[in-house]
Amino acid sequence: MEGRRDLPKRPWDTCQEVPIIDDEQTPWKMIKLLKFITLCVVAGIVFGLALCSKTSFLLLITLSNEGTQTIPDEQKPVVLLCIGCSLITSSVLILLKSTWKACYKTSKLPKITTTALVLFFEFLVSVGAAILTIVAMPHLDIVTNVTILNSVAVLAALLQVVTQCIAKERNRFLLPSITAFILIVLGYVLFLVLYIMKDPSDTKMAIWVGLAVGGSFLVSLTWWESYFRLISQNSSSVFLKNLCKDITKCQNILHILSSLLRIAVTACVLGAYVPLGQMDWDVVRSIPARETRIIAIIIGVQLISSALCHWFALAACKMHALRRCFILPLYLASLAVMALLVVPVIVYYQDYRTSLNGTLSINFTEYCDVVVDGRNLSLNGSVFPHLVLDVTHTLCFLDMSKIMDIGLLTGSSVSWWLGLVLATLHLWYLNLYRTQRTQDLFIRRLYEGAFIEQSLLLNTRFDIQTKHKTKKQRDKTMMYLCATMWHETYDEMLNIIISIFRLDKYRPKVDPNFNDMTFEAHILFDDAFQDVKGSQGRHLNKYAENLVEVFTEVYGIFKNIDEKFFRKQQQIPDQTVLRTPYGGRLVITMPHGNNIVVHFKDKELIRHKKRWSQIMYLYYLLGWKLMNKYYQRWQNNEDEQQLKEELQREKHNTYLLALDGDTDFQPAAVMLLIDRLKMYPRVGAACGRIHPTGSGPAVWFQKFEYAVSHWLQKTAEHVFGCVLCSPGCFSLFRAAALMDDNVMKRYATKSTEASHYIQYDQGEDRWLCTLLMKQGWRVEYNAASDAYTNAPEDFKELYNQRRRWGPSTMANVVDLLGSANVISRKNPSLSKPFMFYQLFNMTSAILAPATICLMIAGCFTFIFSIDGTLSLVLAVIPPAIYLGLSFKLKADTQIHIAAVMSIIYAFLMLVVTMSIIGAMVKEKTILTPSSLFVVIMAIIYIITALLHPQEIQLVFHGFLYILCIPSAYLLLTIYSMVNMNNVSWGTRETKPAAGAEKSQTTAPQTTTQKAKSAFHRLFSWLKCCKKSSRQSVERQVIVSQENMDSESAQPELLPQNTIVEDIRIQEEAQRQVEPDFNQPFQCWVAQLKNVSSDMQLQEESIDKTEEDFWKELQEKYLQPLVDDKEKQKKMADDLRELRNKINFAFFIINALWLVATFTLQFLNATISITIPILDLDLIDTGRKVQIDPIGFMFILGFALSVLLQFFGMLYHRVLTLIHYMAFLDTEPKEQKPEREELYKAGIKVGSVSQADTNSTYQEYSEDEDSDPDDILYITRTDGETRV
């Protein structure tokens, strides 16, 4: 039968109950439409901004021409000053940015030779740019001015030739570079012939022409750094190599010096040229309003459009739209500028000739004399006709009626434009990484505002494209999926196992085309064993058995995808089971070759609970699996320095994905998180968007709460500083960050003080992030990475969950704020302004109960029209009574009271909300403090939801959220603070004990049946006992050692008091030493083998060295904790004392806030801020509202905080869109049959077993010319995706 396992074991049982496997949450059609619209918009914006930038700059050049009349000659220095501003604006911006980085980040001083060489080139470039634009171009025609800027690619083309020749390989773009250089030189020749041969005796014109050619040559040195880097790589010159390294290390200081030099040189050239041109600077002080308005508009458009064009062009490159949204729009911009400036000239000229009605024949020269130069300037008319005539004036020097002049002008223009196109031809084949960093894409940080499209095209990285390029070995990403389980239900287990199998299908280990990442999943099952009456060994509990059943079900589903008639395998391949020093291990090899390792933990052998499970897999995966192999290589006398480099590289590219036992995610969400860590080396962790699942009002409240938290709070933390908490249910951690000093070692600290239980154990994910941030690591948030996890569905479980989270959050934030100065110096992401922002949030959280009381008091005043002082007293009485009762009542009773009060408060909030809306309608005004607050918050939330179209339906849950505000921020705060000394987990603890036996009525057996059953169980017991004898002895030795020497084990104290209930099962009462032959299995291995007949388990033994590792790890960090009632009682007293101290301070602060408000309300007429009430037409209604100063400042601070979060969200949305667009272009997608085709074929849509996915891995094959690097995917700009 072993050879027939590909056939169904039960051909009559082929119907399946298939859960949702495919990504049903992502609206792919909407995303494709969004992608198309986004690319079109970005391409249009880049084109439009480049057009505005170049046109406005050329208009400034035209207005500075001597013969133009829109700006009088005596006011030309103002125009020249604006030209100088456009030259130095980018230098000012990079000066500010580099100064900020030099102050808040590490900056090194460059060598003297490096500084001298860089400043020498920058001096030449700045002199050339100033001479070309300020001195020479105002004396040239508009057509030449448009196209001569394309000639700045002359030395870039020459350096491309030199670079490719030095590489000594068959270069693909050597001929285009040579052709580009020849064409640009030809353009210079035609330009010189046109201007100098026109009037050889005109010395001034010869000087202007010479300065234009020389200036453009000097400007073309701008991008020398890009080619020097490539030359140094292919050269044996040590000087060049050290120069490039020094430039890279000292960029900030060099940018500061070069920016100052460029500003100074431009100012000197401008300051010297004005007096030399017989112009006076005094005119700057008195400019007429009309000229001021014209110049201000033009220079404003030029500066803003240049900066925005640079940003959007960079965004287009990061979106992998290099051709569509970057190269093509910039190429067309020069042509469009030419048309925009020349076409009106031709139209005006032809209109004038038509107006003569043939009575007079006039050529272009006569048109210039009569119309252009002989016009009367109207101060009140439109500016556009005068600008057209000024542009025409620049062409009057040439005789446009001669074919020779037109031919030379056209020839030089076309030669320069084609030269630029050929010099940047390599961009069409440029390899871009999915998460391309700015410094890797653009060589220089700054742009050139005077010639924006040329600077963007030439500043892009130049790669030597060869016909036979050797692949570079890149570091492979290793990812460990680490999930912790305890009392998850069958459906919750199904979610995470399906997610892991999805990832196996998405990144098959057996497919060589997917070699960017390898992953391995580890599930640590806490407290998986139980004692069973009459059994020799401990058995797995019901939850562990459910997990094995889930594996069998999910494996069968994924194994049978795309199988044909009668090819469904009901029997899956054999898997492995091992006995380990901590319990047991189950190894599942998934259909595509990746492994899932389930670690069943026995709490008699190893410490249980979530944080210790995390420490277990941290030391196993990073300590044993990663470090041990390098230790063995070091023992084999391999080069130590090389081993250090390889180890550091592997630590940097090894990631751990922390998961909960019920997390549901798609493979794309994981890849998006990996991108964040790949992009920035100092990112130690990244989290995704967590979606709570479930049903009921409690879940609806959490859906909106989670949404607001991610939409506004986490995005603000990401943009302005650093995310403070990366949730343990779906977060990716870098191994190098976890293995850093004071992180993993500190995380393994046992709680020995009362405060430790609150900070360490109640919110372990937040504490781990705190340790990472203290070491200088950054934590980020990716909004496109979605994960789903079950949320508490009943009121009690929700309150118990938040009872853990609230004090833990407060403890960790206080820890960070207490070390703000030290952390700000060590972690650039946690600046002092950001820490002040967190201080304000912390203050708001502390004052939340008092703030809610004030809000309720306002409700009373608004509804019942009672005095504010009395309403405040009435608002404080119920929570004060609840606070007093909470110190005396049990937790369950407190929750019941809170539930009743929450309903009452909800009705009150509903009445108040409707009353505020009714008041706004009745009084026809929203310009009151309460109305403005409600309207502005509603607008912010609605706009935020619209910017998250996939989650816009969550706005409807916001109504429930509003009703629950008193419950969430008043009653829940009181409950969590009063029960701070309760350090039990609080969730999943009320379920029945796993493996509890149910009374069943069994049919009586005959004597023969009893004998056969007895012999069968005896044989099974003997077989299991032989294999488990050594483990049983070891367990007994460990337990006896714990009982003999409790001090040497340094046990973790488990506080027990009236609130902290002991949920530990008394193993001594359940353990039976004599076997009972009525039990079918005598060990957990035999039990596991019988769970599913479709999955055969082969028992293997663990390696001796790994067994020693586990024993040492257990002894040092994870030895089971023994009960010490005396110490537990002492710790419970310490926790209670800590709770009392914190509660005293917490509620005294709230009381002081209320007393201060009460006093100000009592003295309302003396101390208050009076605000008039305006109607919708902003007319004073005569009524006034009075607000106390403290409340006004608090509301103002809260409003500023929300606005800050809102703007942070807007910026984060743009970054997310850019990343997601790049992801869509680079990540392979599964091919799905169309819905109509499925129905025609008679196939049920959504049936996973019929999905066609065979083509997924064949379509995206590896290309021979790929140049892999640290980033996962490389996309050619011709649309080809490569791994």
Residue 394 structure tokens:
């620049």
Please state, in angstroms and rounded to a whole number, the distance separating the CA atoms of residues 440 and 625. 33
Residue 1067 has a pLDDT of 40
Question: Which residue type, as a one-letter code, is found at position 208?
Answer: W
pLDDT at 919: 72
Considering only CA atoms, which of 616, 621, 626, 617 is closest in space to residue 649?
A: 626
Stronger pLDDT, 97 or 926, i.e. the higher one: 97
Q: Residue 1002 above 60 pLDDT?
A: no
Res 223: pLDDT: 87
437 phi, psi to nearest 5 deg: -85, 155
Q: Which residue has the tokens 């079950």?
A: 790
Q: What is the pLDDT of residue 683?
A: 94
Task: Could you list the beta-strand ranges (E) of 1191-1264.
Answer: none
Q: What is the mean pLDDT of residues 86-112?
A: 84
Higher pLDDT, 1181 or 90: 90
| 68-77, 959-968, 1050-1059, 1105-1114: least confidently modelled range | 1050-1059
Longest dimension (CA), the chain: 132
Strands 477-485 and 654-660: parallel
Average pLDDT over residues 318-333: 90
Structure tokens at 660: 């909960």
- Residue 439, pLDDT above cutoff 60: yes
Tokens of 332: 């067309």
Side by side, which strands form the sheet with 654-660? 664-665, 778-790, 683-693, 730-734, 654-660, 477-485, 517-525, 595-601, 583-589, 572-580, 1095-1101
C-alpha closest to that of 659 among 521, 482, 479, 480: 482
Question: Average pLDDT, stretch 1074-1101?
Answer: 72
Alpha carbon distance 268, 64 (integer Å)? 18
Name the pairing type of β-strands 517-525 and 595-601.
parallel
One DSSP character per residue, 63-97 reads HTSTT--SS-GGGHHHHHHHHHHHHHHHHHHHHHH
Q: For a pLDDT cut of 90, what percent of the chain falls above it? A: 39
With 90 as the cut, is the pLDDT of residue 872 above it?
Answer: no
Which residues lie below 8 Å from residue 929, measured CB to CB, with a gap of 6+? 1171, 1185, 1187, 1195
Name the pLDDT band for 1212 (thresholds 50, 70, 90): very high
Q: What is the pLDDT of residue 1184?
A: 65
Between CA 577 and CA 918 the distance in angstroms is 68
SS3 percent helix, strand, coil of the chain, rounded to 5, is 65, 10, 30
pLDDT value at residue 1030:
43
pLDDT of residue 1266: 33
In this prediction, residue 923 has a pLDDT band, given cuts at 50, 70 and 90, of low
- Token pair belonging to 607: 């410490």
Q: What is the pLDDT of residue 1085?
A: 86
At residue 531, the pLDDT reads: 85
CA-only gyration radius of the chain, Å: 37
1026 falls in which pLDDT band (50, 70, 90)? very low
Residue 799 has pLDDT above 80, yes or no: yes
Which residue did the predictor score with more confidence, 803 or 1029? 803
C-alpha angle 831-833-836 in degrees, rounded to nearest 5: 110
Q: Model confidence at 1210, in pLDDT bands (50, 70, 90)?
A: very high
Give the Å distances, CA to CA, from 172 to 276, 463, 1045.
49, 11, 75
DSSP assignment, residue 21? -
Interval 1263-1268 mean pLDDT: 33
pLDDT bin (cut points 50, 70, 90) of residue 1235 is: very low
Residue 1277 pLDDT > 50: no
Calculate the alpha carbon distances from 476 to 508, 514, 1204 in Å.
14, 11, 39
pLDDT band at 227 (very low <50, low <70, confident <90, very high): confident
Question: What's the distance, CA 809 to chain centroid?
Answer: 22
Q: In which element (H, E) is residue 479 found?
A: strand 477-485
Mean pLDDT is lowest, of 272-281, 1015-1024, 1114-1123, for 1015-1024
Q: What is the mean pLDDT of residues 536-562?
A: 84
On the question of pLDDT at 135 being above 80, the answer is: yes
> What pLDDT is stored for residue 359 in this prediction?
62
Cα distances (angstroms) measured from residue 471 to each of 120, 509, 1166, 1259, 1278 = 37, 21, 80, 21, 20
N- to C-terminal Cα distance for the chain? 41
| Distance (Å) of CA 463 to CA 233, 431, 438, 864, 932 | 12, 9, 16, 75, 56
Which element (helix H / strand E) includes 648? Answer: helix 640-652
Element (H, E) at 372: none
- Per residue in 201-215, pLDDT tens? 888 888 999 999 999
Q: Which helix (H) or strand (E) holds 771?
A: helix 764-774
Q: What angle do CA 578, 582, 586 make, to 5 degrees?
A: 30
What is the average pLDDT across 182-200?
Answer: 89
* Range from 170-179, 361-370, 781-790 that averages highest in pLDDT: 781-790
Q: What is the pLDDT of residues 464-480, one digit of tens each?
A: 665 544 444 456 889 99
DSSP string, 520-551: EEEEEETT-EE--TT-SS-EE-HHHHHHHHHH
- When pLDDT is averaged across residues 491-507 and rounded to a whole number, the result is 92
Do 189 and 425 meet the contact criterion of CB atoms below 8 Å apart?
no
According to the model, what pLDDT value does residue 986 have? 63
Confidence (pLDDT) at 860: 82
Q: Collapse the DSSP code of 380 into the 3-class scheme (helix H, G, I; strand E, B; otherwise coil) and give the result.
A: coil
Distance CA 298, CA 295 (A): 5
pLDDT of residue 1151: 93
Task: Please state, in angstroms and rounded to a whole number, the distance separating the CA atoms of residues 285 and 1113.
Answer: 79
Beta bridge partners of 665: 787
Q: Which residue has the tokens 């909030």?
A: 909
Query: What DSSP letter does each residue of 1051-1072 carry, written as one string?
Result: PPP---SSSS------HHHH--
Mean predicted confidence (pLDDT) in 252-276: 90
In this prediction, residue 260 carries a pLDDT of 93
Mean pLDDT for all residues in the chain = 80
Q: What is the pLDDT of residue 522?
A: 96
Q: Give residue-wise pLDDT tens across range 50-63.
A: 999 999 999 999 98
For residue range 689-720, what is the model confidence (pLDDT) as tens digits? 999 999 899 999 999 999 999 999 999 999 99
Identify the top-confidence range among 67-81, 528-542, 570-584, 735-749: 735-749
Backbone dihedral angles phi then psi of residue 378, each to the nearest 5 degrees: -95, 130
The per-residue pLDDT for 994 is 40
pLDDT at residue 1047 above 70? no
- 773 pLDDT band, cuts 50/70/90, is very high
Closest CA to 663 of 478, 793, 477, 488: 488
**CA pseudo-torsion sign 770, 776, 777, 781:** positive
What's the pLDDT score for residue 318?
85
More confident residue, 975 or 71: 975
Higher pLDDT, 239 or 145: 145
Residue 300 has pLDDT above 70, yes or no: yes
**What average pLDDT score do residues 149-169 get?**
85
Assess whether pLDDT exceeds 80 at residue 284.
no
Note the pLDDT of residue 1123.
Answer: 78
pLDDT tens digits, 630-642? 888 888 888 888 8
